[in-house]
Structure 1
Amino acid sequence: MCSVSGILLAHHFRKYLSHAYTFKIVEKNHDVGGTWLENTYPGCACDVPSNIYQYSFAPAKDWSRLFAPSGEIQNYLSQVVDHFGLRSHIEFETSVKRCVWTEQDRKWLVDTEHNGILETGRKADILINAAGILNHYQYPDIHGLESFKGSLMHTANWDHSVSLAGKDVSIIGSGASAIQVIPQIQPLVKRLSVYIRTPSWITTLPESFGETESQSINTTDDYLQRCKMLESHYNKLFPVFYRNSETQLRERQELASWMESRITDPTLRKKLIPDYEVGCRRISPGEPFLRALQEPNIKCIFSPIETCKPEGLKTEDGVETSDVIIAATGFNTSFRPRFPLVGQNGVDLRELWKDDPASYMGLGCAGFPNYLSMLGPNCPVANGSLIGSLEATADFVVRLLKRVDSHSVATFAPEKGAQDDFNSQVDEFMKDTVWTGNCTSWYKQGQKGRITAVWPGSSLHYREVLAQDRWEDWRWTYLGGRFKAWGRGISVVEQEGGDYSHYMEHGPFLPKSSLAEANCRDDARAIHKSVASEGPNKTVTNLTL
């Protein structure tokens, strides 16, 4: 998918790897943007400031809002693609149907489909999955949902032909998309029933963020400083994720007090303020959401949904008749590919990751040579700033593929032992974090399962680990032997020309008088030694010692 990750990789391939690699991006949609192209529900926007939800190599400061709407983000990504000449590398409206590793040829065979025409056996030396994890929306598993006689839609597949004005509407969910869409549709509908299984922590923002602060900045350096301030704010939040830390306890108390002050009804207040740790699931800015839930045409329903009748959703309290049901229930975040991805020994990654998506640092998987992923399992999606971490991943991919080229590497894949050690570290680290708290979250497999979507450390820690280039954790094979790339023993400088003494560097000059003074001292010591050793019958004629 050509969303944030895919575009980032395309930029890096063209800038840093074009001397050694050609590349193609297969995109199922008609344009770039990924989740920002697909999600068009009312109020859809980024939930981190736009100033840091952008590439460092393509900064923009003319965002219309602090949290840019999805269409604006998609437009930014499209401009980046055109500015850097990446569109010609993208095959639009083309879906991947199957990928198979061939051991004999050491290549991936990729089957794709475009306009109903299947193209099989496309060969690739390297396969990178940058499809992301927020693009495969899913409806809740509610018995009888298909029998509903009104309009049914998902926030990630919004049907703009359906009018909500004056309608009875039910919305399932209270996560990020519900927090954004409810304030937008509440004034339109006659009645809105909101089904809340797990309430969310709602956060406020520091005054220093400033809604229009960026537009008043005129210099690139001043804008950089603002972006660094925002980036640092999110990176400094990491201590809150330690379950019993002072930061966690203080933040939980402060957020609870802030939410209490904005929820007037005591009964609603008790049910809307979470009883789990701050950060166990995604924290969202959403004061308009809290205000909307207290409007007279909204009914919050906390009883579990039992089934769906043709006229609406049923709980133990009865059936809520609805004209429209909206599922704000997120995505399939299992990390399993949406197509067969078959590695060594016929192992399909979909089956391997069916119950436990265990990877090596979110970058690759043992048994799948020449395969890399962006935003794989246990990548830093909740540990701080996302774009900074993605750029660190892309930089690592560049360094790895440069090594592949310069060392005549035939295949590479994570060592199984290194992968197992990494996942053991993940499990041990997570024991003391809020992500293993008492909440349902896409960060983990079920309410009590393994944490599979979060890095075992901060975003800054992630960058440091990748910068170590732990090549010892990878299994390498070579074309003709590991030293075959040495060829005739000629350096790059000798092949291509350049500075033949590039390794030479000088420090500061020694003081001018130091050498002369050293010679005088040496001469004096030599004379003194010769006179002292001369006996009555000896004459010294050579003063060289």
Structure 2
Amino acid sequence: MANIDGEDNLRLDVDITSTNGTVSTPAYTIKEAPLGTTRQIRIVGIGAGASGINMVRTLKLRLKDNYDHVVYEKNTGVGGTWHENRYPGCRCDIPSHNYQFSWRPNREWTNFFSPAEEINAYLCRICEDEGMSDSVIKTEHEVISAHWNEAQGRWLLVVAHLRTGEQFSDYADFLIDASGILNNWKWPDIPGLHDFEGDLLHSARWSSEFDYKDKVVAVIGNGSSGVQIVPVIHPDVKKMVHVVRTPTWILPPRIQLFQMGPAAETINSIDLDDDENFSPEQIERFNADAALYRNFVKTIEKETNSNFPIMLKDSPTQAYAAVQVRQYMAAMLGGDETLCKALIPDYALGCRRMTPAPMYLQTLTQDNVQVVTDAIRRVLPRGLELANGDVVEVDAIICATGFDVSFCPRFPLVGRNGNLQDIWRNNVPQAYMSCTVPGLPNYFTFLGPNAPIGHGSVFTLAEHIATYIAGVIQKCQTEGIKAIVPSQAAVDDYSEHIRAFMPRTAWTSSCNSWYKGSGSDGTVTALHPGSRIHFFHMLETFRGEDYEYVYESDGRDDGAAPRRNRFHYLGNGFSTKELDPEGDPTWYLDDIALTAEDGGSSKKRTRIKSQL
């Protein structure tokens, strides 16, 4: 029977009586724990590049306790792309002092654009100093399958220890994929490639034993790797054959652009030599003067963030920039009509990734360089057969031909709707704000479909994405949420917005680009529909209405599916904020300051932001 106490109408048990008898609904029980109590969870990360490393620290700060975290890294060391890519001339084309974590400034970068070895050393130092190498990150381990178990509300994993060949099972309440998009390198699809009898290398798998001195070397590809390799090895080769299928926009040295813009005063006050190395005295000034260093970093960051208007198709900014870059390229090619026609694009500036490449264009004008624009019909044991029938004999082939950028996972990733590999092979990859995927509960990814991978430093991108992910996990850990996933309706709406916005940009112009899913006019899948700041702003707020939830059982069980009350986490009426002996139960007085104005007739609330 209904248990009603006077006018309070407090219902604990309800007996529903009908002609067929009485059915009793089990009592709802209070969770005997304070609000804010965290449940024990296990988090598995994939990849220990910049994103994976930052995620370790972010979880430490946000979750604090009651979680286990392991990161499986397939390589022998940390660093991701900077561990793997060691070809001659490999460096970042983002200024060094902005290609770092905001929480770990490095005042001793040696060059305005850091070489690969220096970036990797920076990441390795962080792992050692933060104690990640031994406690969290497991190198030479690769996740080879992941299946979502609905009943358990967790991912069931199979992991391979690559050194021993052993395979074992693991599980994750939350799975975080930080394996990256520019990570799965691939050979070009050219008949006979692996029958070549000379040296065959890929830029992402460079051999330190390869000696290119006095050899005829073919470099296939003019993406960001190819344009760095060519000018560095050219002085030592006998002849260089550079195969270019699609022209690419080559920017003037980035520092020259900074010197002509709003950052000119700051840049011109910095002591750099002709090779853009910081002088020892300048490094010492950065170490000694925190205000100088901070102003330098913020000025360059602001200038980098201001480039998005160039990407807007048919805008005056784009038109002006295209004219300037075209003139620069022609000048660096010495006005050579044949080279200019072959190498200066006729598509919109920014349709392919714009690349600064000091000395690249000048190198192509040298007598011992042959620029090939014909397709390669096949590779012969000692050379290349071109589409026009010509044969070019070479001693070595360097494939600077990039990566598999299809977004398809490398391993079976089976969620509620099946294997994501199959779904994304047959359909345009779609994600929610680039970091969650419909049908994959408790799964997060860095730089998934339509992330701002071409918008600037990946380090600060990783920080914002990690903060968003950690916030979602913390919500689940403290609010009794067993599984969380973006709704298909929300992802459909988000994708519709992307499709409507992209025609405004140069990225949709007709060109072959890894930004697109397939073909010169394919769907743009790699880039965010807006500026870098737009992406940061978007992730500031968690839109809970765009997600679907499965809650933990609240203790009721009528023999069928257990009922779940979304407010069960509210607990016994107390809060962990008041029960923590090391906490501050009046924290809200530090967060809000009341300032009297006009003689106390009005009050204004001022938010005081805490600084980490």
Relative to the length of structure 2, the TM-score reads 0.81
| d(CA) in 2 for partners of 1:511, 1:95 | 64
Residue of 78, 85, 97 corresponding to 2:144: 97
Partner of 2:365: 294
Offset at residue 56 of structure 1 (A): 0.4
**1:383/1:457 contact within 8 Å kept:** no
The one-letter code matched in structure 2 to 1:485 is Y
| d(CA) in 1 for partners of 2:90, 2:212 | 17
Does 2:578 match 1:494? Answer: yes
The one-letter code matched in structure 2 to 1:277 is A
Residue of 240, 260, 277 corresponding to 1:192: 240
Partner of 2:181: 133
| d(CA) in 2 for partners of 1:119, 1:266 | 58
Does 2:307 match 1:237? Answer: yes
| d(CA) in 1 for partners of 2:500, 2:584 | 50
Does 2:293 match 1:223? Answer: yes
Residue of 467, 476, 490 corresponding to 1:395: 467
5 Å matches for 1:450-465? 450-465=523-538
| d(CA) in 1 for partners of 2:345, 2:80 | 32
| d(CA) in 2 for partners of 1:113, 1:220 | 46
The one-letter code matched in structure 2 to 1:398 is A
The one-letter code matched in structure 1 to 2:306 is K
Partner of 2:19: none
The one-letter code matched in structure 2 to 1:118 is E
- Give the secondary-structure state (helix, strand or coil) at the position aligned to 1:187: helix
| d(CA) in 2 for partners of 1:101, 1:402 | 20
5 Å matches for 1:14-93? 14-87=60-133, 88-93=135-140
Partner of 2:7: none
| d(CA) in 2 for partners of 1:256, 1:507 | 57
Partner of 1:423: 495
Offset at residue 117 of structure 1 (A): 3.9
The one-letter code matched in structure 2 to 1:96 is V
5 Å matches for 1:428-447? 428-446=500-518, 447=520
**2:333/2:364 contact within 8 Å kept:** no
- Give the secondary-structure state (helix, strand or coil) at the position aligned to 1:425: helix
Does 2:56 match 1:10? Answer: yes
Where do 5+ consecutive residues of structure 2 fail to align? 1-46, 554-564, 602-612
- Give the secondary-structure state (helix, strand or coil) at the position aligned to 1:133: coil
**1:237/1:384 contact within 8 Å kept:** no
| d(CA) in 2 for partners of 1:390, 1:68 | 19
The one-letter code matched in structure 1 to 2:312 is Y
Q: Matched residue pairs, number? A: 513
Does 2:517 match 1:470? Answer: no
The one-letter code matched in structure 1 to 2:143 is V
Summarize the Cα distance change of 1:482–1:325 in structure 2 as closer, same or farther, 3 Å threshold.
same
Offset at residue 120 of structure 1 (A): 3.2
Offset at residue 465 of structure 1 (A): 0.7
Offset at residue 496 of structure 1 (A): 2.4
1:338-370 CA deviation, whole Å, 9 max, x = no partner? 11111115x111111114211111111111110
Partner of 1:376: 448
Moved more, 212-221 or 169-178: 212-221
| d(CA) in 1 for partners of 2:210, 2:577 | 66
Residue of 143, 147, 153 corresponding to 1:106: 153
1:131-176 CA deviation, whole Å, 9 max, x = no partner? 0011111111111212212111101101222211111111111110
| d(CA) in 2 for partners of 1:38, 1:506 | 50
From the two aligned structures, give the one with the greater strand fraction: 2
Moved more, 432-441 or 310-319: 310-319
Computing the radius of gyration over CA atoms, which structure comes out larger, 1 or 2? 1
The one-letter code matched in structure 2 to 1:25 is V
Residue of 251, 275, 299 corresponding to 2:321: 251
- Please give the root-mean-square deviation of Cα atoms over the aligned residues, in Å: 1.8
Offset at residue 63 of structure 1 (A): 1.1
1:490-524 CA deviation, whole Å, 9 max, x = no partner? 1233332555565566745688899xxxxxxxxxx
Does 2:446 match 1:362? Answer: no
Does 2:164 match 1:116? Answer: yes
1:215-267 CA deviation, whole Å, 9 max, x = no partner? 24331221111111111111100001111111100100011111122211222
| d(CA) in 1 for partners of 2:588, 2:208 | 64
Partner of 1:534: none
Partner of 2:206: 158
Partner of 1:484: 568
Residue of 380, 383, 389 corresponding to 1:312: 383
| d(CA) in 2 for partners of 1:194, 1:181 | 11
Offset at residue 18 of structure 1 (A): 2.9
The one-letter code matched in structure 2 to 1:195 is V
Q: How many percent of aligned residue pairs carry the same amino acid?
A: 36
Where do 5+ consecutive residues of structure 1 fail to align? 515-545
| d(CA) in 1 for partners of 2:131, 2:423 | 37
| d(CA) in 2 for partners of 1:414, 1:249 | 39
Offset at residue 397 of structure 1 (A): 1.1
| d(CA) in 2 for partners of 1:330, 1:61 | 32
**1:359/1:377 contact within 8 Å kept:** yes
Partner of 2:403: 331
| d(CA) in 2 for partners of 1:47, 1:80 | 22
> Which structure would you say has the larger RCO, counting Cα contacts within 8 Å and 6 or more residues apart?
2
Partner of 2:393: 321
1:361-412 CA deviation, whole Å, 9 max, x = no partner? 1111111110000111110011234322221111111211121122111000
The one-letter code matched in structure 1 to 2:523 is R
Relative to the length of structure 1, the TM-score reads 0.91
Does 2:186 match 1:145? Answer: no
**1:231/1:385 contact within 8 Å kept:** no
Summarize the Cα distance change of 1:482–1:290 in structure 2 as closer, same or farther, 3 Å threshold.
same
